[in-house]
Amino acid sequence: MALNLLMLGPPGAGKGTQAERFAKAKGIPKISTGDILREAVANKTEIGLRAKAIMDRGELVNDEVMIGIVQERLGRPDAAGGFILDGFPRTVAQAAALDGIMTGHDPLIVIDIVVPEDELVRRLGTRTICRLCGETGPVGCEVGGACAKCGGRLVQRTDDNKAVVLERLKVYHRQTEPLVEFYRIRPTFRSVDGAQPPDRVAADLAAAIAAAAATGAAGVQG
Ligand code: AP5
C-alpha cells in the first residue's frame, strides 16, 4: 500500500520538521505548499508575485491556485509510490478537491499535530530559516547564524513577526481547523502530541502512521 500522508496542524506545530524527517526515512517526496509558494516568490513567477502580499499578511492563497499546484505535483511519477503533504489542504474546498484527486488511490492517512497556542507563538517567534536554501534552522538557532546545509545566513521568515503570526493563527482557527472534524470520522485519522521533543514526536508519528496504514490496508475506507 502506498503511504499517502497529510499533516494537519496549526502554524508552528512542527508539520514541516516532521514531514521532512519521515519523508527522508521512507524515501517518499515531501510536498509543502508553503515551500512551493516561497520558491515561486523567490523566482518572481506570476503566482509568486501574486502570493507574496497574501502570505506576508498571513492570509491564504486562493483555493483554485493551490488545488492546481497540488494536482500537478501529485501527478508527477515520484508521488505514485506515496507522498507526504505539508500545508495542504487548508480549507474544506481544498480537502474536497484532494478527495477527488485521490479517487481510486490508496486511502489518505491524516495526522493532526496538536500543540498549545502559547508554544506555537514561542516557536514561530524564534524560528530561523536560511536565506539561500530556505532550510529551517534547528531548534535553538539564532538569526545571523550559519545554515547547517549550505552555510547561508539564517534569518527570520517574513511572516513570523508577532502580528502576522497572530493573524495566521486566527486564519487557521477559522479556515483550517474545521478540517480536523472533516477527517476525524475516517479510520485512517490519528492525532499526535506535538508538544514533546522532536524525537519523541517523530516516534509517536511513526507509530500513528503504522497503525493508520494497517487500518487502511485492512480495506476500511473513510
Ligand atoms: P506554510 O509554510 O505551510 O506555514 P504554516 O502552516 O504556517 O506552517 P509553518 O511552516 O509555520 O509551521 P510548521 O507546522 O511546518 O512548523 P515547523 O516544522 O516549521 O505556509 C505559509 C503561507 O503560505 C500561509 O500562511 C499561506 O499564506 C500560504 N499557503 C501555504 N499553503 C497554502 C494552502 N494550502 N492554501 C492557501 N495558502 C497556503 O516548526 C516551527 C518551529 O518550531 C521551527 O523553528 C522548528 O525548529 C520548531 N520545532 C518543530 N518541532 C518542535 C518541537 N517538537 N519542539 C520544539 N520546537 C520545535
Question: In terms of C-beta distances under 8 Å and separation of at least 24 residues, what long-range contacts does 164-170 make, across chains too?
Answer: 164/56, 164/57, 164/58, 165/11, 165/12, 165/58, 165/120, 165/121, 165/124, 165/125, 166/121, 167/57, 167/58, 167/59, 168/11, 168/58, 169/10, 169/11, 169/117, 169/120, 169/121
Instruction: Examine the residue annotation and report whether 157 is marked as an active-site residue of this protein.
Output: yes
pLDDT in tens, 112-138: 999 999 999 999 999 999 988 888 887
Confidence of residue 222 (pLDDT cuts 50, 70, 90): very low
pLDDT at 38: 93
Does 24 have pLDDT greater than 90? yes
Pocket test for ligand 1, best of 6, 8, 15, 88 (most atoms within 8 A of CB): 15
The angle at the Cα of 101, spanning 95 to 107, to the nearest 5 degrees, equals 80
pLDDT in tens, 156-178: 999 999 999 999 999 999 999 99
Confidence of residue 85 (pLDDT cuts 50, 70, 90): very high
Task: State the pTM of this model.
Answer: 0.95
Mean pLDDT computed over every residue of the chain: 94
> How many whole angstroms from 13 Cα to the centroid of ligand 1?
7
Pocket test for ligand 1, best of 20, 31, 39, 60 (most atoms within 8 A of CB): 60
Cβ pair 192, 204 in contact under 8 A:
yes
Per-residue pLDDT, averaged over 147-154, amounts to 92
Ligand 1 atom, smallest distance to 160 CA = 11
Beta bridge partners of 4: 83, 108
pLDDT at 1: 87
Q: Which of 90, 123, 186, 190 is catalytic?
A: 90
Q: Where are the alpha helices (DSSP H) in the chain?
A: 15-26, 33-42, 46-57, 63-74, 92-101, 117-126, 162-171, 178-184, 198-217
Please state, in angstroms and rounded to a whole number, the distance separating the CA atoms of residues 96 and 50: 24
Ligand 1 atom, smallest distance to 197 CA = 53
Please state, in angstroms and rounded to a whole number, the distance separating the CA atoms of residues 214 and 189: 12
The CATH code for residues 3-115+173-221 is 3.40.50.300
pLDDT at 219: 67
Beta bridge partners of 130: 154
Please state, in angstroms and rounded to a whole number, the distance separating the CA atoms of residues 203 and 205: 5
pLDDT at 221: 45
Does 3 have pLDDT greater than 90? yes
Percentage with pLDDT > 90 across the chain: 88
Ligand 1 atom, smallest distance to 7 CA = 14
Does 220 have pLDDT greater than 60? no
Does 75 have pLDDT greater than 80? yes
Sheet holding 3-8, edge to edge: 30-32, 82-86, 3-8, 108-114, 189-193
